């Protein structure tokens, strides 16, 4: 069974790069892309993915609010935050909203597939860089 994934990021180039990485993984299929939080919520309702890879800071509805809505309505969907922000505030807010993981964009090429598999298995994923700055225990 393939893991069904939605990509949500307000930068098209980022979505295309992530899709390109995931297209190489035989266990993961991208079922849709969203350019903002509202579109991510609507697309999640429509396609019922296993995992949403969610940018934290986007125009319009941000990833924190979109994650909150997705988890509230569809608690079986897992959200993996994807961000360049390492500040504990962002990590904490995404965890409070219901995200199962937080992946730093500068680590995505090495960690993305593994992070998706981890949250799909209902386990928490945090990029190793976050452990270094002390946000793991938040």
Mean pLDDT of 89-102: 94
Kindly tell me if the per-residue pLDDT of 10 is higher than 80: yes
Burial 8-39, CB ≥16 within 10 A → b, else e: bbbeeebbebbeebbeebeebebbbbbbbbeb
Position 133 pLDDT exceeds 70: no
What is the predicted pLDDT for the residue at 131?
Answer: 59
Residue 134 has pLDDT above 60, yes or no: no
55-80 burial by CB neighbour count: b if 16+ within 10 A, else e? bbebeebbbbbbbbbbbeebeebbbb
Dump pLDDT digits (tens) for 39-73. 999 999 999 999 999 999 988 899 999 999 999 99
Name the token pair of 35: 């350019």
pTM for the predicted model, two decimal places = 0.91
Q: Is the pLDDT of residue 136 over 60?
A: no
- Domains of the chain are 3-118 (3.40.50.2300)
Q: How many CA atoms lie within 13 A of 124 on its CB side?
A: 13
Are 53 and 5 a contacting pair, CB within 8 Å?
Answer: yes
32 pLDDT above the threshold of 50: yes
């Amino acid at each position: 069974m393939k893991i069904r994934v939605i990509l949500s990021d307000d930068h098209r180039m980022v979505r295309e790069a992530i899709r390109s990485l995931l297209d190489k993984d035989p266990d993961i299929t991208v079922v849709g892309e969203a350019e903002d939080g509202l579109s991510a919520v609507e697309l999640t309702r429509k396609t019922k993915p296993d995992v949403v890879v969610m940018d934290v800071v986007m125009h319009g509805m941000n990833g924190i609010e979109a994650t909150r809505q997705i988890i509230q309505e569809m608690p079986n969907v897992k959200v993996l935050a994807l961000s360049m922000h390492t500040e504990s505030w962002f990590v904490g807010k995404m965890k409070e909203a219901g995200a199962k993981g937080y992946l730093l964009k500068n680590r995505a090429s090495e960690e993305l597939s593994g992070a998706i598999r981890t949250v799909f298995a209902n386990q928490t994923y945090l990029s190793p860089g976050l452990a270094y700055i002390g946000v793991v225990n938040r």
